Chains A and B, each alone.
Chain A
Amino acid sequence: SQKIEQNSEALNIQEGKTATLTCNYTNYSPAYLQWYRQDPGRGPVFLLLIRENEKEKRKERLKVTFDTTLKQSLFHITASQPADSATYLCALDMRNSGYSTLTFGKGTMLLVSP
């Protein structure tokens, strides 16, 4: 079965620095990979989606890369702010009986200090 590893349970960085979060997976590559943000006690919020044939995707201060050879996605937040503090979830968009389902990693809790 597919395993997903987000390499840090927690990541502490200083405001203004770039946060880099890692998502590794085993077995076969998904057609799509998604990143979500989750605040305590709330539902995940979609951030970015990247396709298997895309190397990089950007949205404002966010950037995601997808390397199907390494079976890895990197998620970057540039010029980080305390408001970016949250848990970030990587999700593999897998085909399941003809339908698309998300399998989430355990998440990385990011803490941005002023």
Chain B
Amino acid sequence: DTEVTQTPKHLVMGMTNKKSLKCEQHMGHRAMYWYKQKAKKPPELMFVYSYEKLSINESVPSRFSPECPNSSLLNLHLHALQPEDSALYLCASSRTGTGGSEQYFGPGTRLTVT
């Protein structure tokens, strides 16, 4: 199974809402990632988890809060978002976090903040 799944596929939320994005992989990968992608732009790295520990936070605002409950699951908790946070949020995983490993991406969650 080389699939990364993400739920929900689409999410519309108000600026005062709290919601969560979920990501799951069963490939035994030890590194997981959150990316943000705006229209016609490349994916931008937000967070890296390696062996279930937050390894890299690319100066992401605190209204985005990642969580890695176990080696297969990755969540992104959202609170008090702004309209400019509307984007495609992609989860990815790789065998290791130390380089030379291809990343497997999920289909993404299309987030709209109203």
A113 to B45, CA, bound (A): 33
CB-based nearest A residue for B4: A43
B 84-106 binary contact with A (CB < 8 Å = 1; else 0)? 00001010101011111111111
**Chain B residues positioned under 8 Å from A103 (CB to CB):** 45
Tell me whether A49 and B100 are in contact (CB under 8 A).
Answer: yes
Tell me whether B41 and A102 are in contact (CB under 8 A).
Answer: no
Tell me whether B50 and A99 are in contact (CB under 8 A).
Answer: yes
**Interface stretch of the complex, out of A13-21, A69-77, A78-86, A90-98:** A90-98
Tell me whether A44 and B41 are in contact (CB under 8 A).
Answer: no
Tell me whether A107 and B42 are in contact (CB under 8 A).
Answer: yes
From B44, B98, B105, contact of A100 by CB (8 A): B98
Tell me whether A106 and B42 are in contact (CB under 8 A).
Answer: yes
The reply on B79 being an interface residue by CB < 8 A is no
Tell me whether A93 and B99 are in contact (CB under 8 A).
Answer: yes
Closest 3 CB pairs of A and B: A43-B105, A104-B42, A100-B99
- Residues on A close to B: CB < 8 A? 31-32, 34, 41-46, 49, 51, 89, 93, 95-107
- Residues on B close to A: CB < 8 A? 4, 31, 41-45, 48, 50, 55-56, 88, 90, 92, 94, 96-108, 110
